[in-house]
Homo-oligomer: A and B are copies of this chain.
Amino acid sequence: MKLPEGIVIKEVGPRDGLQNEPELIGTQDKIEWINHLSSTGLSYIEITSFVHPKWIPQLADALEVAKGIHRNKDITYAALVPNQKGLERALSANIDEVSVFMSASETHNQKNINKSIKETYPVIEEVIKNAKRHHKSVRGYLSTVFGCPYEGKVSVKDVITISKTLFDMGIDELSIGDTIGVANPRQVERVLIEIREHFQQNHIALHFHDTRGTALANCLTAMQLGFDTFDSSLGGLGGCPYARGASGNLATDDLIYMLHGMGISTGVDEARLKEAAIYIQQKLQKSLSSHQMEIMNQGRGVG
């Protein structure tokens, strides 16, 4: 099978992973964990979210974390930004890239960010415009592309329309999300062929969840179509706290196991990645759910 020779992995554990953890992790522990991740060979780490602390108490220390970490110049450090206020905090920490986000389905967008899709556009547009003024790259997240927990099926036409709007506003990359982990390979193929027709393929990332066990099959399908950028979360940490039945970010370590086994390079050192997983597992005092960590945990007690 013809597949990309190398894959770019965008680690979202410190943001998308931790935001779903009820147990608060200390700021210094987060900083040390991100420093661990910076030593693994990853080229991209989404480190926190500048949403209002009342929405995600776990990430209330976004500024301290962003300022506290050791910055490796070969790594892009990104953060989620919901609006102009969040952007200002992100800029004050001199974050490399900011991520804006919205959903492909009206109801999920409303429940997740308390605005209609139409109301969301100007907020995002302002962030993009001002981020660009500060020479920051911008990533867009589009959620519920493969299914919505409230509406069910999501129209590919709507996905294309929203994606086009976001690219027209100036995003540099779009991350296509299977927020509730319902996608199957045939659906992925159908959606991505449409996406590929409308946008530059190397500006698209895939964000799969393994909620139903299909994430790696979906990655395989995307790779067969030539897509080469995937979001994942070390140890399978996290999910979306606002979507019913949403859990199970694709685990970075599981993805890398498959890719390296297939001779596809990621630049990531598996031994160091495992150390980083063990570190955060100890801090969380709970077993991480990736297959790789499950296998390791069976061999010895957690922590």
- Please list the residues of chain A having a beta carbon within 8 angstroms of any beta carbon in chain B: 1, 3, 182, 184-187, 189, 210-217, 219-221, 224, 245, 247-248, 251, 254, 257-258, 261-263, 290-292, 295, 298
Contact = CB atoms under 8 A, between A and B. Distances in A.
B295 A214 contact: no
A169 to B, nearest CB: 33
Contacts of A254: 212-213
Contacts of A261: 182, 184, 186-187
Contacts of A1: 185-186, 189, 221, 224
Given A220-B185, A245-B298, A211 B258 contact: no
A212 B262 contact: no
Contacts of A247: 298
A78 B248 CA distance: 36
B220 A258 contact: no
Contacts of A224: 1
Give 7 closest A-B pairs by Cβ, nearest first: A184-B261, A186-B262, A213-B291, A217-B217, A216-B217, A213-B254, A217-B220
Contacts of A210: 213, 291
Given A1-B189, A186-B263, A262-B184, A245 B295 contact: yes
Q: Most chain-B CB neighbours within 10 Å: which of A182, A224, A262?
A: A262
Nearest to A225: B1
16 contacts: A1-B189, A1-B221, A184-B258, A184-B261, A184-B262, A185-B262, A212-B257, A212-B291, A212-B292, A213-B257, A213-B258, A213-B290, A214-B258, A216-B216, A220-B220, A245-B298
Contacts of A214: 216, 257-258
Contacts of A257: 184, 212-214
Given A1-B185, A211-B291, A216-B216, 10 more contacts: A1-B224, A184-B258, A186-B261, A210-B213, A212-B254, A212-B258, A212-B291, A213-B215, A213-B291, A214-B216
A11 B265 CA distance: 36
A224 B292 CA distance: 27
Contacts of A217: 216-217, 219-220, 258
Nearest to A292: B212
Contacts of A220: 185, 217, 220-221
Nearest to A224: B1
A231 B210 CA distance: 21
